[in-house]
Structure 1
Amino acid sequence: MGIAFSSITLFFSLVLGVVAGGIAQQQIEHDKGQHMALMAEQLTNELDRSLFERYREIQIIAEFEMVRGLAQSRADRRPLLDRLQDTYSAYTWIGFADEQGVVQVSTQGLLEGVSVAQRDWFLQAQDRPFVGDVHEALLLSHLLPRQADQPPLRLLDIASPVYDDQGERLGVLGAHITWDWVEAVAASLLDHSTASNQEVFIVDAAGHVLLGPQAWQGKHLGLDSLRQAQTQSEGYTIERWPDGQRYLVGFVSSQGYSSYPGLGWTILVSEPVAIAFSPARALFWRILLGGLSLGSGFVAIGWIAAQRITKPLLQISAAADQIREGNRNVVLPPLRGHNEVTRLTEAFSQLMANLFAQETQLRQNNAQLERQLEDRRRMGQSLWRSEEQLRQIVDGIEDSLLLREISSGELIYSNHRFAELYQDVVANNQQPGAWLQYVHPDDRGWVAEKFEAELQGKAFFNDEYRFVGADGHIRWIWNRSFPIRDELGDIYRYVVIERDITELKQATAVLQQLMAGTAAVVGEAFFQQLVQHLASTLEACCVYVAEHRVGEMHTLALWSEGQLQPNVTFADTQMPCAKVLESGFYRCSTQTAQAFPANAFLQQLTVEGYIGVTMTNAQGDVLGLLCVMSTRPLRDRIDYIPILQIFANRAAAELERQRAELALQKSESRFRLLAENVKDLVCLHDLTGRFLYLSPSCKSLLGFEPEELIGSNPYRQCHPEDRPLIRPQFQQAVEHPSSGPITYRARRKGGGYVWLESLVKVVYEAGVATYLQVSSRDITDQVRVQQQLEHDATHDGLTGLPNRSLLIERLNLALKRVQCDDEVNFAVLLIDLDRFKVINDSLGHEAGDRLLQLITQRLGTAICGIDLAARLGGDEFVLLLEDIEGLAAAVRVAERILANFQTAIPLGSQAVVVGASIGIVLGDRSYSDGMDILRDAEIAMYSAKQNHQLGYVIFNQAMHEQAFQRLALENDLRLALERQELTLRYQPIVNLATGCLVGFEALVRWQHPEKGMISPVDFIPIAEDTGLVVPLGAWVLKTACQQIADWQRQFPGAAILKMSVNLSVQQLQEANLVAQVQQILADTGLAGHCLALEITESMFVADIEAINGRLQQLNDLDVQISIDDFGTGFSSLSYLHRLSVNNLKIDRSFVSNLFESQRNLNVAKTIVNLSQHLGLTTIAEGIETPEQLQQLQALGCQLGQGYLFNAPVTQAVAETLLAELNVVQVVKA
């Protein structure tokens, strides 16, 4: 029975624990979830409302008249923005950007002059106000003071368009709110409403954390709560976060506020599930553990104990049901004893107390939220105070300001100046259009039309009209209206600003009357008219103009007692005249005579009002006074000083004009005497430029009589191409007298133009420019010399073609065109003439120069339009082909040039055919400098010269790499000569009939320390191109001679052996070659007949007589001469018998192909026969097979060399051969 009751107790304990725990968890999830969602909602509403307030503020500020003025000025408006920033402390920065996006004025001058045209706030605020999402401010971070340990400056952008009176946009007013402000708003709401284990997050529309714990800042959250917020706006859920924990999350999606749409933010309030549901889990485990304890006790206690345990458990279960139904007054009856049931009941009671305490805490939190709502209301009051402060600013301006509704015209607001301006006239007429009845009848019609257009939002204006007051007095009103737009850019109200300009109109009328009376007169009549009209207009009893002289004043015109009076002179110390001179002006509105009792003149006229101003010139010097006196007090409402100052300035100018006129009359005779006796042309012009005077040299210089040009426009005498240039230059000379001379071409009467250099001087009278003085001299000869120098600097003197300098300039221009336009193509052809040096040396330099000129003519026929032919120097030419279709077009030009060059060119009595090698480069964006294009064209040209039969090669990048490799090899070759990296190999030469060794040919080899053995084919052409072949050849010659001499001394049988050494063209042209050979023979002790020098037959074409003379000198030393590669170069049969040579060498190309064609066999046979007839020895190169040897023996060839006998061998191998035998054995295949 005890076991049964124990099982039942365990079962009920488990059920009770699950039920109670589940109920508690559901209740906690609901209560806490609701509370956290409510917290998120409160924060969302607060942020949206706060951003809406900023949204409306920036729109209202942008509609102020004072803000519109930002488009016209800068420094004087900056304090206005600073005051606005002080009023609206939420803003970190306020600035105005014009239509182009350049910040014109801003608080603290930050970002002024900087373009914000690509900033999001400027682009989005073109038509309506804008609030931008949070972002980091990289530029302002450097400008605004900020602590080093503070996080990066983050801002929200707020902006609104600024419109003028006509609704045209002037620019954008922008402001920044720091993210600190958002954090402060959030902190003010959340400091007392969140538990210590709850966290608040602000997440943007893309899911990035904007506000939250430091570890989550900037991270991306892909949460279900964020997705649910987009569909159901607010709620709560349980979800797993990226850190692996499960959280209870309350969420709300920002929906904006009023017309502000919001930024799409989502507010999350989270708490770990383990913490949030800990009370429910504790209840479950306590019930379960209590049940286990009770169940164990039932085994021992039995049926009676089971009865006592079951009843309390049922009471606990019933209490849990009542709690689930909402009953918070449940009380478990107390149990006696200290058993497990009692402890279980006490634990359950404690759990209920804890749950009820948490519920009480939630209610307290709600109360806290209510208090925060009250704080929001107080913030609204703060906004009202800000608006009231703005209202006071508007009331502080001097103009009347009205705010009316569109359509109805209802008066929304007016400042105090409105009532002061219109007094009781409009105040008693509340209807929108009632004020029109007080508009002057002549203006009422058009003003009514304008008013109606304003009501319809169609037009706003800036104009003047007359207003008839209640006293019948007519006043002039200046009126300006402009629209106010809502957040969608629609006009819903408009502002009217009005100003009383009656006094301004009166002053203008006085000024116009005075101007009309004095505009057309000068001299003494001007001063008389001035005082007369001033006296009449200002109702003055006395007016005078006086000139200031040393210690006294002398009147130029004096009006008194209704008529002009004789001029007088008086001391400048008399009052109030002295006061005028002291301060620049003096005014005494009334009782002037009483103020200066010692002045008899004032007492005589009983002067009441007095006003005087000084007359000053442009330099500020005082020239005199203008004074007005009246027997009546001066009216305070009219400021006479600006009016009098205008005419005082005019009087000062007239006085200076008179002085200058006198001075001009005195100097005119001196000027004419000077101008009419100089060779240069001297002219006077009026300010429009027309001739007033020309000196007599005009006849000799231009062919015109001076009278023919007086009154005409000088620009008509200029060359048409110079007119657009000299007009601004003359204007510059007028505005800046320090400008230099002006150079241009002037037309001569009989035709043609002469170059003139002119200096312009402005002549002033009384500080006013009156005419121009121009001095011109003939610089035609100097210009022609300068033009020739400039031409010579950019052109080749021989051919007249552009030189390298002009070519590079044109290439760079072509590259700029390619950079700007992908469809533009151009190509460069670098042309190098073949055999030009041969022709130049053989026919003379005069013939060479003539050949270059004829080549220039032929190249000219290959180009057209804007193409350019240039000469780089020597026999190198360049063609620049612009606007071509592509590479194929450049190739066609190259082929035409090569075909053209096949035609013989007549040079005196001879005709020559000149070949060419052409390198082609297509210009593209990969080039940045014209020099690089020429470099690549030269690389392609050398490739064409060396390896191709077409005559032209198109550059590719591989050539560039090869050129770099060639350059590196050249540098290494220079070092190789110094480091003794070169060595010689010796190829045996044998008698074909006997097989006896007769000598060696010395062949140079290069053992590179890094690249290993380098073939002569790779480095000999580099040595020839760079001139290194001369020192290299000298080293080979000396080393080979020393070696054969040593062998002759070491091996007796070697006494008859010869050493053959190759000579390059450059060595043969060296003037000291013979002396060098003679010195080497002497130093080594080698007999001359043991040395054979091998040369190519092409060397004879340059200057056969000079070359043969040098060979004869070598023959005189017993040195033998061999013609290498005979038959492969120029045909030399015609002059072979004249040459001092001993041997002919059959080229290996004929020997290796001896049996492939009858032609090769015939060539070899011809060379052998020619040698026999001329008494020369024949040497065959490249013998590799016994069949070749037998054929050459049959032809009668005496000597030979090749791999059949032995390859080129080292010194050691050669010495082995010399030691063993005097005959080289034939190597069997």
Structure 2
Amino acid sequence: MDGPSWTAARSRPAQRRAPALVVALVVVLLAAEGAAYGTATGTALYFTVLGLAVVAAWAGVSRGGRQLPAVLVALGVTLTGAGDVVWQVQTSLTGSGADLGVADVLYLGSYVALGAALALMARTCHADRDQQVSGWIDALVVFVAALLVVWELSIATTVQDPTLGGLDRVVLSLYPALDAALIGLVVRLLATRRHGERASLAVAVACACWLFSDVVYLLDVDADDLGSLLDAGWLLGSVLLAVAAWPAASRPAAGDDAGHAVSGLARLAVCLGALLVPPTTELVIDWTGGEDAAGAVFTAMVTLTVLVFVRAALLVRGEAAARALVRSRERFAAKLTAHSSDAVLVLSRDGRLLSDPTPLATLLGATPSGLSTTADALRLAGVDTDLADALFARAVAARGRVVDAELPTRHRGEDRWVGVRLVDLSRDPDVGGVVVHVTDVTGRRRAEEALAHSVLHDGLTGLANRALFTDRVGQALRRTVRGGGSVAVLSLDLDGFKAVNDSLGHAAGDALLREVATRLRAAVRADDTVARLGGDEFAVLVEQTGEGDDEALLAAARALEVLARPVPLPGGPVTVSASVGVAVGRGGVAGESLIGDADLALYAAKLDGRNRVQRFEPGMRAAALAARELEQELRGAVDRGEFRLAYQPVIGLADRRVTGFEALLRWDNPRLGPVTPDRFVPVAEAAGLMDEIGAWVLREACTTAAVWRHRHPGAGPFTMAVNVSATQLTSPDLVGSIAHALAESGLPAGALVLEVTETALVGDPGRAAACLSALRALGVRLALDDFGTGYSSLAHLRQFTVDVLKIDRSFVSSMAEGEPLPAIVRGTIDLGRTLGLEVLAEGVEHEHQARLLAEGRCDTAQGYLFARPLEACDAEALLLEEAAARAGVPAIVPLRSAPRALTRPA
């Protein structure tokens, strides 16, 4: 325990012990003083006790913080003691203390001080004005009754004594009158006294002691046999007043009630009892044969009657105010109940309604008629009776402890929830039953359900989100342990969604995702789970009866079929495809692992060209790791300058002259070394990096071609061909990127050839056709690469307008020496010439292939027969050689990597 707390703990018992010790000492001294009354020892003991009382009173004032009532009490004790000292001195000097003097002034001053203290002590206990007035009336009633008694006992005799002067009569009459006033003030103080408060009792007993001594003194001043008793009364009164000045006496005892000790009925009994004093006094006078006091008795009776009437009127008014307050609170509670969302009922232990059923009826929107039992209330609420009975039994068995529950209800065809709080207060006299608090919690429960739905479902499409999908996959896998079968996860990713978002806006993209969600739900079985995992990635959970993947592959095929139909959007209809990865598992496979396998299969499907279904194979993990490694290295490769272009010449077969170049992308990674395009291009397309890389290729190729045309005009006009991937065709930035590259480099649009493959066009033919039209509007030339290897090639020529047909190398490699030109190659050349297109053959590696193509009137060719892909300096050297040849001037050009010499026709 710390210092201050320890000190306070010690000081409180000390404060309580100090007055007790003083009282004990005083009792001993009073006994000794009574035994030695009339002697010098008795006088010394008398003043010793009186001095101790004065010292104790002021010590209490000091300890109590110098409160004004305590100061006045101590002052009263001091004036009394001073009066006794002066009276003793006067008696010693004159031989008699009967004459009036300074002592009487001091005595009367002590009465005034003590009366003021009592008035202050009583006032601090009242807060209401009517209570203050009632307290003063109680004091006046007691004062009048006491004054009538002391009038008959002493004051009347004193007033009628002819031997006393007028001032003597007044002063001697003031003593009992002031005692009566103090008794009235004490009654007023006791009416407001709190349990455990000792000050009021001490002051009351002290005033009673003084009243006794004063009255006896006035009745028989010279009664020697009562002298010690009179001194004891005065001394005990002073000592008790000293005790009242201590703070421990004015503080209620620990654990006592802080309310008023005297009830209203007890105070009324005091007032009514005072009315008995006048007739009782008259009876005593008649019985003893005393002088007639009808006037005093009548005056006292009238005064008391008026005071008691006023007191009763105040009680009646207070009762009316209390009743009005109760009625106001009842109306207040009724209005709160009428407009409250809660209902409070009181039921007996046997289920009878003990309170008004209106709150429950109001809560449920029904009429309260016919409600008398719990069964009626349950019927109205729509609560299951078994649940309600069990809950009621729990509340009764809980013996006063609160029981909470939420019960489902069905009222007027609507599912609702009510919160119920029960507590058995049957033993409480104010309640006498089981209190049932009913609250409609339907709104909260629905909000909780909506919150739970939002936590586990996608906000845009309403499909399950990743957390819910993973949980359901895990549950499905656990079911296969008990019931057999297998679980398939389909991971779907939309092809070209970014282009829709970028070209038509996010609102159109959101509409597309919602439509895709609707179609996927329609394409799978009712018990299959469709989820949106994020962005344009969806997943489907298929629970299969067998262990193969037939059902999963059928579901994937249906998904691709429904997604192939055009989707009407505000910006126009769009067609999207999807890449699908399928993974099958059962038993102890983790849900996250199965979903991860499906993602790997999806990644492989995207690398293979999109718009296809790929089943998971164990080797895909290694391939996926390698692809992700490539993807990480690809990010930032443009900024790090790791890409370069190689240029493969395009040769005219008629004169073997250079007519153009094809720019081929090369990547030299510091960590991985040279990486071929067939490895990194699919990864770049799947990762969405092809737009950035393609833009760099366009800028670099256009700039190089423009510089070469400016430096070597003698080489004649030539073209620069750049490959465009399928993802670039769907990008809304492609046309702008090409226009910017042409403008920045100064290359004529007709010198740029954009090569697209058939597979890049069939993904979204409508969008591809629109993109090719916009490119032709720029003036660039278009080449259809790998012609004849795809499906419906002739249909593509009709739908897509191009300038160049490129015969795939697979057809050229089949041309054997000594055999005629294959029919498919001849047909392609004839088709191109018929349509007015330039025909270019790829992969020419032998002279007989070049000769057959030239004889078949193929326009141009490229391949290792003429030159491998050249570095920029070697390609420029080739242009310099071409310019010299055209001018008929031999050129000596140092080549860093000597290309194969171009074969001129004889």
Q: 1:873 to 1:1169 in 2, by over 3 A?
A: farther
* Residue equivalent to 1:1208: 869
User: Of the two, which has the highest radius of gyration?
Assistant: 2
> Quick one: distance in 2 between partners of 1:1194 and 1:850?
55
Name the residue aligned to 1:803. Answer: 465
SS, match of residue 801 in structure 1: coil
Matches within 5 A, 1:887-902: 887-888=547-548, 891-898=549-556, 900=558
**Matches of 2:469 and 2:636 in 1, distance apart?**
36
When residues 1071 and 945 of structure 1 are mapped into structure 2, their CA distance, relative to the original with a 3 A threshold, is closer
Q: Select which of 463, 474, 487 maps to 1:827.
A: 487
Secondary structure in structure 2 of the residue aligned to 1:1002: strand
Looking at structure 2, the residues matched to 906 and 1074 of structure 1 have their Cα atoms a distance apart, in angstroms, of 26
Residue 937 (structure 1) shift: 1.4
Counterparts of 1:727-876 in structure 2 under 5 Å? 727=391, 743-748=406-411, 750-758=412-420, 770-778=432-440, 780=442, 783-784=445-446, 787-788=449-450, 790-796=452-458, 800-811=462-473, 827-832=487-492, 849-850=514-515, 852-860=517-525, 864=527, 868-872=529-533, 876=537
Partner residue, 1:1081: 742
Q: Is the 8 A contact 2:666 2:676 kept in 1?
A: yes
Partner of 2:354: 692
Counterpart CA distance in 2 for 1:1122 and 1:1164 is 17
Equivalent residue, structure 2, for 1:705: 368
CA spacing shift, 1:1004–1:1072, aligned 2, 3 Å:
same
Q: CA deviation at 1:1037?
A: 1.7
Letter in 2 for 1:897: A
Conserved in 2, the CA contact under 8 Å of 1:920 and 1:937?
yes
Identity among equivalent pairs (%): 30
SS across alignment from 1:692: coil
1:879 equivalent in alignment to 2:540 = yes
Q: 1:941 to 1:993 in 2, by over 3 A?
A: same
Residue type of the alignment partner of 1:964: L
Summarize the Cα distance change of 1:1121–1:839 in structure 2 as closer, same or farther, 3 Å threshold. closer
Counterparts of 1:839 and 1:1039 in 2: how far apart (Å)? Answer: 24
Matches within 5 A, 1:899-978: 900=558, 917-922=580-585, 925=588, 927=590, 930-947=591-608, 952-978=613-639
Cα distance in structure 2, aligned partners of 1:1217 and 1:898: 53
Aligned AA (1:994): D
**Residue identity opposite 1:853 in structure 2:** T
Q: 1:1185 to 1:852 in 2, by over 3 A?
A: farther
Whether the 8 Å CA contact 1:689–1:713 is kept in 2: the answer is no
Match of 1:1150 among 793, 805, 811: 811
What amino acid is the match of 2:525? G
**Secondary structure, in 3 states, of the residue corresponding to 1:976?**
coil
Q: 5+ unaligned residues in a row in structure 2: which ranges?
A: 1-190, 196-200, 206-254, 260-322, 886-899
What's the secondary structure of 2:524's corresponding residue?
A: helix
Contact 2:496–2:576 under 8 Å retained in 1? no
Letter in 1 for 2:550: R
**Relative contact order (alpha carbons < 8 A, sep ≥ 6): 1 or 2 greater?**
2
Determine whether 1:1094 maps to 2:752.
no
Deviation per CA, 1:921-954: give whole Å up to 9, x if none: 4266574xx5454333111122245449996544
The 8 Å contact of residues 682 and 776 in structure 1, kept in 2 or not, is answered as yes
Q: Which residue identity lines up with residue 972 of structure 1 in the other structure?
A: E
- Write out aligned runs for 1:385-464 (5 A): none
Deviation string for 1:1086-1107 (max 9, x for gaps)? 3333222222345555776765
| 8 A Cα contact 1:686 1:772, kept in partner | yes
CA contact (8 A) 2:358 2:367 kept: no
Q: Which has the larger helix fraction?
A: 2
1:36-115 correspondence runs (5 A): none
> Partners in 2 of 1:1002 and 1:1119 — Cα distance?
15
Distance verdict in 2 for CA 1:1209–1:785, change over 3 Å: same
Distance in 2 (alpha carbons) for counterparts of 1:802 and 1:726: 37
Confirm or deny: 8 A CA contact 2:607 2:686 kept in the other structure: no
Cα-to-partner distance string for 1:421-447 (whole Å, 9 max, x where unaligned) = xxxxxxxxxxxxxxxxxxxxxxxxxxx
- Provide the secondary structure at the position in 1 that maps to 2:644: strand
Change in Cα spacing, 1:1030 to 1:689, as seen in structure 2 (3 Å) is farther
Over 3 Å counting, the alpha-carbon distance change for 1:827 and 1:687 in structure 2 is farther
Distance 1:1149 1:714 in 2: 87
Q: Which residue in the other structure is 1:1183 paired with?
A: 844
Verify the 8 A CA contact 1:981 1:1007 in the aligned structure 2: yes
What is the correspondence of 1:301-380 to structure 2 with a 5 Å cutoff? none
- Give the CA deviation at 1:1012: 1.9
Question: Take 2:393 and 2:473, find their aligned partners in 1: how far apart are those partners?
Answer: 32
Separation in 1, partners of 2:389, 2:448: 19
The 1:895–1:1074 alpha-carbon spacing in structure 2 relative to 1, beyond 3 Å, is closer
**Cα 1:949–1:1141, aligned 2, differ >3 Å: closer, same or farther?**
closer
Aligned positions of 1:269-668 closer than 5 A: none
Q: Which residue matches 2:661?
A: 1000
User: 1:1202 Cα shift?
Assistant: 1.7
Aligned to 2:696: 1035
Q: Distance in 1 between matches of 2:459 and 2:761?
A: 32
- CA drift of 1:1176 comes to 1.5
Q: Does the C-alpha gap of structure 1 residues 1046 and 728 become closer, same or farther in structure 2, counting only changes over 3 Å?
A: farther
2:624 partner SS: helix
- Residues 1:1025 and 2:686 aligned together: yes
CA deviations over 1:485-504 (Å, ceiling 9, x no partner): xxxxxxxxxxxxxxxxxxxx
Q: Aligned partners of 1:1091 and 1:1200: how far apart in 2?
A: 17
Q: What is the distance in 1 between the residues matched to 2:642 and 2:813?
A: 32
Name the structure 1 match of 2:100. none
Q: Are the equivalent residues in 1 in contact too, given 2:486–2:585 (CA < 8 A)?
A: yes
Q: Matches of 1:778 and 1:751 in 2, distance apart?
A: 16
Distance 1:840 1:999, change over 3 A: closer
> d(CA) in 2 for partners of 1:838 and 1:1168?
38
1:979 aligns with 2:644: no
1:251-299 deviations in Å (ceiling 9; x for gaps)? xxxxxxxxxxxxxxxxxxxxxxxxxxxxxxxxxxxxxxxxxxxxxxxxx
- Between the aligned partners of 1:731 and 1:1161, the Cα distance in structure 2 is 97
SS at match of 1:1059: strand
- 1:1125 maps to 2:805: no
Distance in 2, matches of 1:1070 and 1:953, equals 25
Q: Is the 8 A contact 1:698 1:706 kept in 2?
A: no
Aligned length in residues: 569
* In structure 2, distance between residues paired with 1:773 and 1:979: 78
In structure 1, distance between residues paired with 2:778 and 2:557? 48
Q: Decide whether aligned partners of structure 1 residues 1109 and 707 sit closer, same or farther in structure 2, where only a CA change above 3 A counts.
A: closer
Q: Distance in 2 between matches of 1:1078 and 1:836?
A: 22
The 5 A counterparts of 1:1049-1068 are: 1049-1068=710-729
Q: CA deviation at 1:857?
A: 1.7
Letter in 2 for 1:805: A
DSSP 3-state at the match of 1:684: strand
Helix, strand or coil for the counterpart of 1:1141? coil
Q: Where does the alignment leave 5 or more consecutive residues of structure 1 unmatched?
A: 1-548, 554-569, 575-618, 624-661
